[in-house]
Structure formats: C-alpha cells, structure tokens
Amino acid sequence: MKRNTLTALLALVLSTWSTPNVQAQTEEQHLSHAVSYDLPRLVAQKGMENVYDAIGTLPGIVVQNGVYTLGGRAIAVSINGETQNIPYNQL
C-alpha cells in the first residue's frame, strides 16, 4: 500500500548550506538545496493543530510579520513537489 505523506520542502535560496542539527524524531532528507520534513508526523509529535504552525517550529525558521524566513531570506513552500503560491496562513 502506497503511503501518502504530505511533506513540505523548504527551498533554500542560499548559495551555501550547512547541514542543520535536527532532533532524531524529525525525519529530514537533503535534496541539493532543499530539506524535506514529514510534517504530519511533526504535527502529531508536537501536538499542533496544523502544518502552518509546524513550519514555524522547524530549525532556523523565523516568522516575522507573517513571513517565514531562513537565514534572513524568504522561503518557498512546496507540497508534494509543487511550490505553493498561497499565503502561509492558508496552508
């Protein structure tokens, strides 16, 4: 049976990237300049109500005025490989 998992890819626009120190319970996969997290699992483990809140808890993510940044640069969120062009609060 195919496992249907919602993941969010945080596309990094950084020219250099060092591997983040991530806790063991958070799955991550490095794909060139992208890091993939199993957000449904993260939501369940941290007792959150939605993916939007979970993204704000990822290592290095800062939320300022409703904009998510990593290293001071805006991030793009992709779900199942498709970049989302919707406001973060609608994710």
State how far the Cα of 55 lies from the Cα of 68, in Å rounded to an integer: 8
Here the tokens at position 61 are 């993510």
Here the tokens at position 53 are 């809140």
- What pLDDT is attached to residue 91? 59
- What pLDDT is attached to residue 32? 59
Is pTM, for the whole model, over 0.85?
Answer: no
Residue 60, domain member (yes or no): yes
State how far the Cα of 75 lies from the Cα of 52, in Å rounded to an integer: 13
State how far the Cα of 62 lies from the Cα of 67, in Å rounded to an integer: 8
Tally of domains in the chain: 1
Residue 1, domain member (yes or no): no
State how far the Cα of 58 lies from the Cα of 83, in Å rounded to an integer: 18
- What pLDDT is attached to residue 14? 32
Residue 47, domain member (yes or no): yes
Q: Can you give the pLDDT of all 91 residues of the chain as single tens digits?
A: 333 333 333 333 332 333 444 443 344 454 456 677 787 888 888 888 877 788 888 888 888 887 888 888 888 777 777 877 776 666 5
Range of the domain at 38: 7-16+23-90
